């Protein structure tokens, strides 16, 4: 097939009107005629039949015709155009048309005596059947009816269905190449797929009076015509992923051989031995770094599996090789903790670390930037502030992204634009990728899995407790803390209002401070919940961390907790990811029903890290919604991160996994990651087949489907 250059709509339409149509089309993602033929209907209307006006009953969607008997503007209850249609044969049957927004052109078209064809939902009006805002047109007795279902397309303000339909029709008719088959006949035949042309012509203009089964399949997008389109879309995605992978293999990245000096020093300084899984994964990463091809590896490991030390070893190999490393975490508190941990691990081995976060004072920021720019600092740790304007890492060799699923697609794109393509990338996540995502959006990554927990982890016992029994939990936590344990107490999540969440945190802190304060002994006596009644009870220090605190206050509180000076730490979800205080063995989560599964799993993962037996108490408020019940049941029954992620995907869908909603990007327009698993597999095999047998066809297919969308697929 020839490779013909395509005129864009902008070039084609010279006039001002043409240009504005092109702008509107661009808003719905249509840049070329190719995109227009792939702009597929949301649903259909049946305009192929006429119901006699006398039989237009309320509750039905109908198309009917009548002659205008009267038209006028009425003002009660508000300004509206009202038109009375009469059945041409049966003069006693009428239908009222009502328009609350209208133009002079409406009035002109609905002239008395004109024959009008209308389509809409009939309802019972005060004066008999009526349709509000019907679609209508002026017709004559012999105006033919369409012989196909009428498509309704996704559109944008100012772009009418009529204009869009005509544009699609024109694009379909203009050039047979738009719908020509680019895939080899054998590939299609083996999978029983419709031809591209047949599928498109069917979907843009299906025949009327389909069988009930066919109509249902059309509506639910399981019809063979849809199957072909979804297959094509998934095939394009697979081809794009493979092309990306190939392009990566052709790119050069620094060869980070390392000397072993720093990594050895680190291994000597840490108070534990690597697990077998850590050893293995560290080998995999070390090997990637020596290859001179940009690494893109995802390190997957459940909460607490020990990803940080592996990241640190990778970083040191890069630094030994004379390169800089950027280590990015999604929250300030987590980034800071990494900073402190690495600072302590690396103090004395001669690696200068620069700390960068959004809330850093200007002077400190300038100093950090200077030391990175001059190369004095070889290790940058921080939040996404690391990849903002003005940050120069002239010798960047490796970027490490912790909790990568917390970053949205847009942020991942920004990262790529940061000239990161020549650096190695290590992404880390405690959230296992569900299979369909692993086959699609993440198919380009290499994956290492930490499938072994460090020794000495204790199983966390989980209890579900109603808020009504909160007092008992307060007493029980107090008792635990007096025996030397430490507790997190997580505030209710209030998604709608950060301010309210803060107030709640402050109130909870006050409440617990009172409960665990010096005068608590007497109170404990009265309620009879403390078994050591009568004895003087030592007060327990209660701390508070939340997102609005200044970083140094936050750090001071976390330090005090890590040192054991604070017994109970009241926290908002700022501690959700990654925080590590081994002595803490009690986790109380208030209003656990408001949290997502991944969040609950992460929170619970904050305990069970030390020698003490750990408990997690999920306080919930009755009555629970069905989803909340489902979630709490999952978290109660399992501690396995993989199983929890699987359940989470079932409950929430894949969009949130990808962070796609944040970025507002439709990642797949037609295929559905959950429902079309089989098609994904077919597309994956077909992509391999096509690249081997007919790379030119693969190129044409990619161009047809992705055109300008390529960037997002690769994010
Ligand atoms: P995550 O994978 O959730 O990021 P971390 O890297 O924070 O886990 O590790 C959790 C805790 O386990 C830390 O205190 C870390 O120092 C400790 N740890 C990591 N590896 C080992 C090991 N092999 N043996 C004992 N403790 C370890
Ligand atoms: Mg971590």
* 575-597: average pLDDT: 83
Ramachandran angles phi, psi of 234, nearest 5°: -70, -35
Residue appearing with tokens 């939040």: 383
Give, rounded to a whole angstrom, the gap between the first and last alpha carbons of the chain.
Answer: 31
Asked if 306 contacts 402 with a C-beta cutoff of 8 angstroms, the reply is no
Residue 359: per-residue pLDDT: 78
Ramachandran angles phi, psi of 122, nearest 5°: -85, 135
Ligand number nearest to the C-alpha of 311 = 1
Is the bond leading into 327 cis (omega within 30 degrees of zero)? Answer: no
| CATH architecture for residues 261-450 | 3-Layer(aba) Sandwich (3.40)
**DSSP letter (8 states) at residue 38:** T
* 72-87: average pLDDT: 93
For the Cβ of 429 lying below 6 angstroms from any atom of ligand 1, the answer is no
Indicate if the pLDDT at residue 464 is higher than 90. Answer: yes
Residue 438: per-residue pLDDT: 78
Ligand number nearest to the C-alpha of 303 = 1
Q: Mutate which of 273, 303, 307, 308 to test ligand 1's pocket (most atoms within 8 Å of Cβ)?
A: 308
* 613-635: average pLDDT: 92
For the Cβ of 301 lying below 6 angstroms from any atom of ligand 1, the answer is yes
Ligand number nearest to the C-alpha of 605 = 1
Closest CA to 420 of 441, 390, 393: 393
493 CA to middle of ligand 1, Å? 27
Beta-ladder partners of 68: 85
Residue 392: per-residue pLDDT: 83
Q: Residue ranges of the domains in the chain?
A: 6-44+155-220, 50-144, 261-450, 460-638
Which atom in ligand 1 lies closest to the alpha carbon of residue 274? 23
What pLDDT band is residue 549 in, cutting at 50, 70 and 90? confident
Residues 406, 577: Cα–Cα separation, whole Å: 10
For the Cβ of 274 lying below 6 angstroms from any atom of ligand 1, the answer is yes
Ligand 1 atom 20 nearest Cα: 306
Closest CA to 154 of 265, 47, 42: 42
The tokens for 708 are 């300008």
Residue 633: per-residue pLDDT: 94
Residues 28, 13: Cα–Cα separation, whole Å: 17
Residues 379, 323: Cα–Cα separation, whole Å: 9
For the Cβ of 578 lying below 6 angstroms from any atom of ligand 1, the answer is yes
Indicate if the pLDDT at residue 532 is higher than 60. Answer: no
397 CA to middle of ligand 2, Å? 21
Ramachandran angles phi, psi of 338, nearest 5°: -60, -45
- Of the CA atoms within 13 Å of residue 117, those in its CB half-sphere come to 16
Ligand 1 atom 24 nearest Cα: 454
What pLDDT band is residue 504 in, cutting at 50, 70 and 90? confident
Which atom in ligand 1 lies closest to the alpha carbon of residue 308? 6
Q: Please indicate whether the domains covering 261-450 and 460-638 agree at the CATH topology level.
A: yes
For the Cβ of 609 lying below 6 angstroms from any atom of ligand 1, the answer is yes
Which atom in ligand 1 lies closest to the alpha carbon of residue 309? 6
Output Rg (C-alpha) for the chain, integer angstroms.
Answer: 32
What pLDDT band is residue 181 in, cutting at 50, 70 and 90? very high
Residues 479, 538: Cα–Cα separation, whole Å: 10
* 701-705: average pLDDT: 90
CB atoms within 10 A of CB 61: 12
For the Cβ of 13 lying below 6 angstroms from any atom of ligand 1, the answer is no
Ligand 1 atom 14 nearest Cα: 580
For the Cβ of 599 lying below 6 angstroms from any atom of ligand 1, the answer is no
Residues 712, 715: Cα–Cα separation, whole Å: 5
Report the topology of domain 460-638: Rossmann fold (3.40.50)
Strand duo 150-152 + 43-45: pairing: antiparallel
Residue 627: per-residue pLDDT: 85
For the Cβ of 103 lying below 6 angstroms from any atom of ligand 1, the answer is no
Strand duo 584-589 + 446-450: pairing: unpaired
275 CA to middle of ligand 1, Å? 10
| DSSP-derived 3-state class of residue 586 | strand
Asked if 708 contacts 9 with a C-beta cutoff of 8 angstroms, the reply is no
Q: Mutate which of 304, 337, 341, 453 to test ligand 1's pocket (most atoms within 8 Å of Cβ)?
A: 304
Residue 99: per-residue pLDDT: 95
| 392-396, 553-557, 646-650: least confidently modelled range | 646-650
Indicate if the pLDDT at residue 215 is higher than 60. Answer: yes
DSSP string, 455-515: TT--PEEEEEEEGGGHHHHHHHHHHHHHTT-EEEEEPPP-TT-HHHHHHHHHHHHHHHHHH
Residue 691: per-residue pLDDT: 93
Asked if 524 contacts 515 with a C-beta cutoff of 8 angstroms, the reply is no
- Give the mean pLDDT of the chain: 85
Ramachandran angles phi, psi of 638, nearest 5°: -135, 150
The model's pLDDT over 671-683, given as tens digits with 9 standing for 90+, comes to 987 788 899 999 9
Q: Mutate which of 270, 306, 451, 576 to test ligand 1's pocket (most atoms within 8 Å of Cβ)?
A: 306
Ligand number nearest to the C-alpha of 402 = 2
| CATH architecture for residues 50-144 | Beta Barrel (2.40)
Residues 281, 453: Cα–Cα separation, whole Å: 13
Residues 461, 481: Cα–Cα separation, whole Å: 17
Predicted model pTM: 0.71
Residues 6+ apart with CB under 8 A from 112: 68, 69, 70, 71
The tokens for 699 are 């190129």
* 469-491: average pLDDT: 93
* 603-609: average pLDDT: 86
| 151-165, 377-391, 626-640, 697-711: least confidently modelled range | 697-711
Ligand number nearest to the C-alpha of 610 = 1
What pLDDT band is residue 655 in, cutting at 50, 70 and 90? low
Residues 6+ apart with CB under 8 A from 363: none
Ranges assigned E (strand) in 5-45: 43-45
Residues 132, 97: Cα–Cα separation, whole Å: 6
The tokens for 634 are 């999952």
- Surface-to-core class of residue 405, CB atoms within 10 Å of its CB (0-12 exposed, 13-18 middle, 19+ buried): buried
What pLDDT band is residue 360 in, cutting at 50, 70 and 90? confident
For the Cβ of 305 lying below 6 angstroms from any atom of ligand 1, the answer is yes
Dihedral angle of Cα 475, 477, 481, 483, to the nearest 10 degrees:
70
Residues 636, 634: Cα–Cα separation, whole Å: 5
Residues 232, 350: Cα–Cα separation, whole Å: 54
Closest CA to 53 of 40, 67, 41, 42: 67
For the Cβ of 309 lying below 6 angstroms from any atom of ligand 1, the answer is yes
| 43-57, 119-133, 243-257, 303-317: least confidently modelled range | 243-257
DSSP string, 217-266: HHHTT-SHHHHHHHHHHHHHHHHHHHHHHHHHHHS--------SHHHHHH
Indicate if the pLDDT at residue 709 is higher than 50. Answer: yes
* 555-572: average pLDDT: 91
H helices then E strands: how many in the chain? 28, 21
Strand order of the sheet with strand 424-429? 353-356, 379-382, 324-328, 396-401, 424-429, 296-301, 446-450
Asked if 491 contacts 570 with a C-beta cutoff of 8 angstroms, the reply is yes
Residue 85: per-residue pLDDT: 95
Indicate if the pLDDT at residue 213 is higher than 90. Answer: yes
* 627-656: average pLDDT: 81
For the Cβ of 567 lying below 6 angstroms from any atom of ligand 1, the answer is no
| DSSP-derived 3-state class of residue 587 | strand
Most confident of 214-218, 550-554, 606-610: 214-218
């Amino acid at each position: 097939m020839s490779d013909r250059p395509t005129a864009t709509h902008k070039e084609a339409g010279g006039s001002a009107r043409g240009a504005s149509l092109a702008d509107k089309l661009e808003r719905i993602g249509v840049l070329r005629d190719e995109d227009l033929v792939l702009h597929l209907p949301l649903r259909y209307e049946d305009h192929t039949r006429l119901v006699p006006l006398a039989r237009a009953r309320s509750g039905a969607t109908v198309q009917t015709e009548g002659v205008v008997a009267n038209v006028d503007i009425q003002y009660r209850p508000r300004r509206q155009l009202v038109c009375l249609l009469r059945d041409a044969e049966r003069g006693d049957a009428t239908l009222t048309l009502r328009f609350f927004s209208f133009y002079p052109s409406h009035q002109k078209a609905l002239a008395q005596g004109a024959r009008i064809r209308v389509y809409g939902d009939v309802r019972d009006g005060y004066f008999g059947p009526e349709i509000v805002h019907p679609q209508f047109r002026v017709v004559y007795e012999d105006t033919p009816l369409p012989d196909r279902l009428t498509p309704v397309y996704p559109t944008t303000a100012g772009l009418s269905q009529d204009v869009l339909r005509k544009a699609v029709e024109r694009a379909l008719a203009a050039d047979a190449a738009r719908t020509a088959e680019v895939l080899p006949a054998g590939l299609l035949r083996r999978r029983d797929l419709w031809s591209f042309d047949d599928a498109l012509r069917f979907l843009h203009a299906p025949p009327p009076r389909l069988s009930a089964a066919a109509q249902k399949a059309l509506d639910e997008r399981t019809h063979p015509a849809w199957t072909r389109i979804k297959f094509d879309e998934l095939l394009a995605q697979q081809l794009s992923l493979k092309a990306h992978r190939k392009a990566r293999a052709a790119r050069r990245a620094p060869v980070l051989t390392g000397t072993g000096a720093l990594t050895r020093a680190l291994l000597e300084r840490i108070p534990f031995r690597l697990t077998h899984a850590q050893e293995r994964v560290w080998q995999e990463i070390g090997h990637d770094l020596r290859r001179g091809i940009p690494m893109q590896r995802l390190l997957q490991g459940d909460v607490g599996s020990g990803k940080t030390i592996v990241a640190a070893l990778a970083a040191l190999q890069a630094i030994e090789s004379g390169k800089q490393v950027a280590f990015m975490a999604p929250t300030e508190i987590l980034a800071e903790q990494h900073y402190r941990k690495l600072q302590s691990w690396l103090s004395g081995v001669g690696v200068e670390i620069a700390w960068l976060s959004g809330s850093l004072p200007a002077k400190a920021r300038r100093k950090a930037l200077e030391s990175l720019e001059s190369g004095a600092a070889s290790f940058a740790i921080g939040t996404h502030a690391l990849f903002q304007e003005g940050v120069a890492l002239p010798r960047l060799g490796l970027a490490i992204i912790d909790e990568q699923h917390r970053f949205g697609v847009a942020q991942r794109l920004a990262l790529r634009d940061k000239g990161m393509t020549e650096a190695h990338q290590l992404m880390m996540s405690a959230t296992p990728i569900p299979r369909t995502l692993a086959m699609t959006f993440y198919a380009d990554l290499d994956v290492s899995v930490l499938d072994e927990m460090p020794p000495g982890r204790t199983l966390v016992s989980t209890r579900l407790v109603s808020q009504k029994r909160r007092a008992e939990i307060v007493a029980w936590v107090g008792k635990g803390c007096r025996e030397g344990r430490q507790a997190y107490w997580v505030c209710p999540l209030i998604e709608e209002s950060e301010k309210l969440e803060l107030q709640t945190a402050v109130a909870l802190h006050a409440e617990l401070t009172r409960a665990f304060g010096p005068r608590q002994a007497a109170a404990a006596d009265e309620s009879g919940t403390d078994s050591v009644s009568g004895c003087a009870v030592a007060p327990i220090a209660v701390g508070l961390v939340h997102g609005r605190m200044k970083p140094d206050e936050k750090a001071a509180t976390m330090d005090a907790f890590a040192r054991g000076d604070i017994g109970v730490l009241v926290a908002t979800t700022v501690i959700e990811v990654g925080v590590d205080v081994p002595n803490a063995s009690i986790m109380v989560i208030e209003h656990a029903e408001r949290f997502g599964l991944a969040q609950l799993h992460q929170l619970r993962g904050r305990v069970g890290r030390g020698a003490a037996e750990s408990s997690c108490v999920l306080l919930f408020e009755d009555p629970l919604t069905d989803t909340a019940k489902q979630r709490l049941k999952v978290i109660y029954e399992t501690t396995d991160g993989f199983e929890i992620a699987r359940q989470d995907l079932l409950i929430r869908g894949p969009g949130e996994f990808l962070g796609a909603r944040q970025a507002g990007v439709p990642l797949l327009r037609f295929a559905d990651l959950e429902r079309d698993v089989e098609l994904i597999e077919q597309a994956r095999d077909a992509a391999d087949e096509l690249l081997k047998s007919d790379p030119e066809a693969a190129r044409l297919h990619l161009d047809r489907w992705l055109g300008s969308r390529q960037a997002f697929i690769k994010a």
